[in-house]
Structure formats: structure tokens, C-alpha cells
Structure 1
Amino acid sequence: MKDDTGEKRLGWLTPRFLLRFALLACIALVVVGLGVALTPGNPKQPGEPPFSERARTAALTETLRLRAAGEHLGSSAPGAGQSALARTVTLLTGQARALLSPGQAAPVFPSAVAAQANSATQNGPGTQAAQPSTGAASPPPAPLPDSPAGLAAALAASGSQRIADATEADGGMARLLAAVGTAQLLQASSLAAATGVPVPPNADPVPPQLSGSCPGPVVSASPASGGVTVAQALEAAVRTELQSVYGYQLALTRLGGEPAKAAAGQLARHEALLRGAESLSLRHCVSPPPPEAGYGLAPSFFAAPGTGLAGLETSALPVYGDLVALSEGETRQWAISALLETARGAAAWGAQPGPLPGLSADVESLPPLPDPSTPTPDAPAPTPGR
């Protein structure tokens, strides 16, 4: 009887079959691997912009919206109202130039009444309250204010929102937002007074109730090689308030009537600011500087004390701007409130704090707003510091 061959005894598991199977498996693996490599993966969704960038974008959008409203209202306003609206537009233009990122295309808001009916189709994340963008689809912009009273109220609301955002933004952006908000609140009152409309409700930030103490030894502020510190900014605030108190005390000996009453009220405010700056210095473990025997004042101060007091208030604004940028938490909240109070004090004596009180930047040196008819390339997100 004839024996079966080896292949018949192995059945289908022959070496030739196993070799073919291994070869086909390798080919299949190569094909699958190439398919995975060539198949594009799902692109990563861009992350939400930082809060400071969203707050800047919201501030720019609302500022341009109010500027468009001011331009439209100014074209038909009479006399003093037209001048007040023109000043408002100038202020908002300067602020928009400071808020605009290099190369960024500014949102366009139509100033014609007929175009406002189509405002839902306009681009831009502006809202009535100007909340920072969340990165989601933006709602259509709110209709432009159609009266001086409406514009004054919108200015006040925008200023309050900018100041609220400044409490949480990064240092340089916090300073810019606080400056924009302060100027908008001041302009809201100025516009209302010039156009004979009700002044918007007082929306000033409430300064915190300072409490707490230094957890360690109290030392004197020392110069820092890497730049100004919070301790040094607080020391500058104390020195500024000591000089302001001294100046108001001298001015009261030369003023009478209503100016004297106003100066007495401002003196009490500066004394309160001095106590606050000293308290915060101790909380930061820094010994506040003692008062000096006297402070140098220009000879013109005695001839025109009101003008001299305006100069004192104006010179204090950058001090509080520094403190806003360098601090955080309750210290920053206090600094923002002090910045607004000081800007109001300067305006009360006839000074013009400008569109960015607390910043030393020259608005005229900033790049102009781009022509909306000229396309601008996309620009990378700016670093939130100025």
C-alpha cells in the first residue's frame, strides 16, 4: 500500500500555504498603515483666547460702536451739543487706536439710521453690555444709541464694564482697560451736562474694605533691578498723596467761597486715599514713607491755586496707573477706584485727563484707525501688555 506524502499528512497546513499567508498578512498591514498615514486627522479646534484678549476685543468693539453713534448724532446736533459730541468722538477715536491690535481690521458700525435696520448682518462681537467674547458665535451688534441721553448711558455702561474687566485682566491690559473705562465714565457725565440730559446713574467701582496685616517683618521699599515692584508703586502712591494733602492745605488758605468748599471736600478725599495707600503698604510688608517737611510747588500755584490743584491731580494719574498694572486682587481694585477718583478731581479743577488717564502714551503717536474699505491681513493675537 502506497504511503501518503508529507503534504497530504499535513493537510492544508503546508509550508507553502503558511508562507503565502504570511506574505498576504504583511501586504495587508502595509496597506492599512498607508491608509492610516494618508487619512487626515480631525484638525484641532483653536482654544479660547485668553481673558485679556477677549476683554480687549470687547472694549474695541464697543468703543467703535459708540464712536459711530457719536458721529451720527453729531451730524444733526445743534451748537453746544455738537461740540460735546465731537469731543466724545475724538476721545473714543483715541481709545480705539490704543485698543486696536497692529494689522487688525476694525469692526465697522454704520452711522446712518437706514443702515441700522440691517445691523443684524454686520460683523463684530459688540453687545449692549460689551461682555468679553467667549469664542462662540457672536450675537449681532446692538442698535446704535439714537440720542445724547442714550449715548451718555451707553458710555457709562461701557466704562463700568471696562473697569470690571480690568480687575481680572493681565497687568498691562488691566491698566489700559482701567484707563479706557475711567475716561468713558467721565465723558458720560460731561456729555450729559453739555447736552442737558440726565446724568447716568453713578456706576463708580466700590473700593474694597481694606483689612489684613503683614505676615512677616515690615521693611522699607528698596529699588529693584528688574523694574518697579508693587511695594515701590505703593510707596509712590503714599508720597503722591502726602504731596496732594500738603497742596490742598496750602490752597485752602488762598481760596474762598465755592472753590474753598470744593477744595475741602477734595482734601478729605486725599486724606482717605493716603490712609488707604499706607494701609496697603503695611499689608505688603512695606513701611510707608513719612511726610516731608515741605513739598516743592511751582510759584504759579500760589497765584492760581485751582490750576495748581489740577496739576497735582493730573500728575497722580500715572502713579495709580502703575499700581493697577503691578497689583492684583484688592490692591488693584483699590488702585482702580483711586485712579477714577483722581481723574474726577482733575476734571473738577478744569484739567483734561484725556482718553487714557493713567497712561503716559501719546495718543497722536498711535497708529491711525484703518480705512474700513481697505482690507487688512490677519494678524497674530497681540501680547496683552502696553
Structure 2
Amino acid sequence: MKDDTQETGRRSRYFQYAVFALAALLVVSLGAVLIPREPSPPAAPPFSEQARASAFADSLSLRVAGLDLAGAADATAPAPQAAALARIVTLLTLQAQALMLPADVAGGPATAGTVRSSASAPASVPPSTTADLAAALLASGAQRLRDAETADGGIARLLAGAGTAQLLAAEDLASANGIALAPLPGAGSSFPSSTAPTAPVTAPAATRCASKAAAAGAGTGADLGSALASTVEGELELIYAYQAALTRLNPGSAVPASGFLTQHSALRGQAEALSRSRCTEVPIRRPGYALSQAFLADPAAALGTLEAGTLPLFGDLVALSEGPERAWALSALQSAARRTAYWGASPGPVPGVLLDEAVLPHLPDAAPTPAPSSTSARPTGNS
């Protein structure tokens, strides 16, 4: 009888142990389900978005510096210097509007990432003199062009135009104030002043065309080929226009016009070679083009208008190309913008992009002004 009682007690204890173990397991399981895990850090924005946000931040910072300098110079600066500062403020305002997205006003992830990277980088002193502003514009323009080399098509076009305009604005401000701009590292090869760009070396046309014919669906090759054909046609028209203008320009303008004619001849040959490498039919050279009365009356102004008309073509090439072909298109865009400005025409706030200023978003009254990014946007593997 006593043994039965002991056996019953042991079974009761085992049962209690099992109940307690089950209860503990249930509590642990519920806790694991109910306690939220630490949220994963947000993924880094794509490189193109980082580059756009960085360009937007720099345009705002430079705009603030330009406004401060323009306000201080209103009563004391000579008219050319004040006018140059006013042009820069207008340029940076339009560029900021073109680069802005709704998320920038609300502090989206790309903008926040740009601010964080700027804060972690060595602090940069805002430009406080016209010389500082010219140098900052030059550095920002060069950075935009470097980012345009690897950004996605549409963003690359926007960055290329913004960078080109900032380089021209820096030179304009330096010229108005008698400032000598320090050359940027590598500027001799990456950012030619007015020389025609060198076309990239490509495979023989027969090999390229054979490989394209064998591959079904060659991506954007057809679009790039069409853009190259349009560029060739534009260069042929400009060559004819310069040849006709040389006998009508004054001697002071005829010398640079002759140099520009040489550049266009080189550009035409390079664009034709690239077209053939893309298996695109090269436009037939016409015997001549119709010249308007405006051209005959003022050939210099007409050349500026014709040069400005090629900027969207080079913008298309930047957006559609990649690698060496994009580097060629970026260089061609810069040289075309310089020729446009030389003849007194406006290349626009973003050369290569047709902007309708009336539909650009307005900058908020208290536009966020993150510190200018002292480091470039870095590719994250998603470029």
C-alpha cells in the first residue's frame, strides 16, 4: 500500500514537471512572436538617386551663397560683377527646381543619405567671396559630370546639363571679376575647353553588325543609332552654315569660326563612325541647306541659334549611351555649349535638356539647405 502511494506521488510530480515545462515553452514561444524584431536598416538608394540628391543639395547651398554675395554686392559691386552674380542665382534656382523631387522637401531617404554623408565628411566652408563661389561652382560642375558618366540615362542627361552650365557659370563669374580659376585635377583630359572630343575606339563595323544580327533584340542600340544619325545630320548642317558664314563674319569672328568649323568636321566624322559601329545608316550628305534671311543679316547670331539646336541631340546621346560612347557624348555636349555661349546664344540652365520653366516646381519658402556634399555619390552596385 505504501509503495502504491509513493508511485502515485512520483507520477504526480512528473505530471507537474511536464505542465511547468509546457507552460514555459508556451511563454517563450509567445514572447518570440510578440516581441518585434529590430527593423532592418533601409537599403541605400540607387547611385543615380544619390547623385541627383547630391546635385540638388549642392545647387541649394551654392544658391544661398550666391544670394548672400549678390545682396552684399548690390550697392558696391560694378555692374558686370553684379550681373554675373544675378545670372548665377537664376541658374542655380532653375537647376534646383529641375533636380527637386517631392521627397526632397519632406526629407526623403536619398536626401537624408546625402545630408548624413555630408555631415560625416570633413566640414566644408560655404563660399564667402566671389572667388570661393567660382571655385565651388567649378568643383560642383565637375562632380556632376563625373556622376553623369555612370548614372542612369535620364538622370545622366540632367547631371550632364547641370554640370556643364555650372562650369560655364564659374568661368563667367571669374571673367567678370578678373579671377583666375585653379585647374581641377585631371581637367586636361576629362573636361576639354573647346576642342572636339575624340570618338571611342570601337570594333570593326562588320563584326559589330554581324553580332547584332545574331542577337535578338539589341536593347537600346536602335534608339542610340537614330540619335547618332540625327547628330550627323545636325553636324552636316552646321558645317555648311559655318562655310557660308566665314565670308560674312568680321575678321575678329572669322578666326574662331574657322576653328569651330574644324571641330564640326571632326564631330561629323566621329558621329558617322559611331553610327556605322551601331549598324545605322549614315545620312546622305546634301549639296546644301537653305539659309534664312536672319542668317544672312546676322550670321553670328544665327550660328549661336544653330549651335543651341544641337544641345538636345547631344543630351539624347548622353541618355542613350554608356561607357566610352557616353564619355564622348559628354565631351561633345560641353564643347557645343561653349560654342553656343561664344556666339551670344543661351545654352539654357541645363544644356541638353529642354526645360519648360513655367511647369517647374517652386522651391519652398524655407528650402532645405543641406551642407554641400564634399564627397561624390558612390556607386553601390546598382548604377
TM-score w.r.t. length of structure 2 = 0.81
1:250 aligns with: 244
Which is greater in Rg? 1
1:58 aligns with: 54
1:383 aligns with: none
CA drift at 1:236: 1.2
1:377 aligns with: none
2:135 aligns with: 153
CA drift at 1:208: 5.7
RMSD: 3.0
Residue 259 (structure 2) pairs with residue 273 (structure 1):
no
| One-letter amino acid matched to 2:279 | C
CA drift at 1:55: 1.0
Question: What secondary structure, in the 3-state scheme, does the structure 1 residue paired with 2:209 have?
Answer: coil
Residue 40 (structure 2) pairs with residue 48 (structure 1):
no
Question: What secondary structure, in the 3-state scheme, does the structure 2 residue paired with 1:48 have?
Answer: coil
| One-letter amino acid matched to 1:282 | R
2:147 aligns with: 165
1:81 aligns with: 81
Aligned-pair identity (%): 45
Residue 209 (structure 2) pairs with residue 217 (structure 1):
yes
| One-letter amino acid matched to 2:201 | S
Whether contact under 8 Å (1:246, 1:295) holds in the other structure is yes
1:364 aligns with: 358
Whole-angstrom CA distance in 2 between matches of 1:280 and 1:100: 34
| One-letter amino acid matched to 1:169 | A
2:372 aligns with: none
CA drift at 1:373: 7.7
Residue 319 (structure 2) pairs with residue 329 (structure 1):
no
Q: Deviations over 1:143-176 (max 9, x none)?
A: 2222222211211111111000111111111010
Going from structure 1 to structure 2, the CA distance change for 1:186 and 1:171 (only over 3 Å counts) comes to same
CA drift at 1:93: 0.7
Question: What secondary structure, in the 3-state scheme, does the structure 2 residue paired with 1:343 have?
Answer: helix
Q: Deviations over 1:29-79 (max 9, x none)?
A: 211111111212111111112111111121112112211221122223312
CA drift at 1:217: 2.5
Whether contact under 8 Å (1:61, 1:125) holds in the other structure is no
Whole-angstrom CA distance in 2 between matches of 1:371 and 1:201: 36
Going from structure 1 to structure 2, the CA distance change for 1:282 and 1:320 (only over 3 Å counts) comes to same
Whether contact under 8 Å (1:125, 1:141) holds in the other structure is no
1:120 aligns with: none
Going from structure 1 to structure 2, the CA distance change for 1:352 and 1:136 (only over 3 Å counts) comes to closer
Whole-angstrom CA distance in 2 between matches of 1:298 and 1:281: 29
Structure that is richer in helix per residue: 2
Question: Residues 299-338 of structure 1: matches in 2 within 5 Å?
Answer: 299-338=293-332
Going from structure 1 to structure 2, the CA distance change for 1:294 and 1:13 (only over 3 Å counts) comes to farther
Whole-angstrom CA distance in 1 between matches of 2:245 and 2:350: 27
2:348 aligns with: 354
Unaligned runs of 5+ residues in structure 2 are 369-383
Whether contact under 8 Å (1:49, 1:135) holds in the other structure is no
Whether contact under 8 Å (1:210, 1:279) holds in the other structure is no
Q: Deviations over 1:64-101 (max 9, x none)?
A: 22112211222233122111111111111111111111
CA drift at 1:334: 0.7
Among 175, 183, 191, the alignment partner of 1:205 is 191
Higher relative contact order (CA closer than 8 Å, sequence separation 6+): 2
1:189 aligns with: 171
Whole-angstrom CA distance in 2 between matches of 1:7 and 1:336: 95
Mean CA deviation greater in 166-175 or 292-301:
292-301
Residue 92 (structure 2) pairs with residue 92 (structure 1):
yes
Going from structure 1 to structure 2, the CA distance change for 1:164 and 1:208 (only over 3 Å counts) comes to farther
Unaligned runs of 5+ residues in structure 1 are 108-123, 127-131, 375-386
Going from structure 1 to structure 2, the CA distance change for 1:151 and 1:228 (only over 3 Å counts) comes to farther
| One-letter amino acid matched to 2:183 | P
| One-letter amino acid matched to 2:86 | A
CA drift at 1:288: 2.1
TM-score w.r.t. length of structure 1 = 0.81
Among 9, 18, 25, the alignment partner of 2:21 is 25
Whole-angstrom CA distance in 2 between matches of 1:308 and 1:182: 22
CA drift at 1:265: 0.4
CA drift at 1:135: 5.2
Question: What secondary structure, in the 3-state scheme, does the structure 2 residue paired with 1:229 have?
Answer: helix
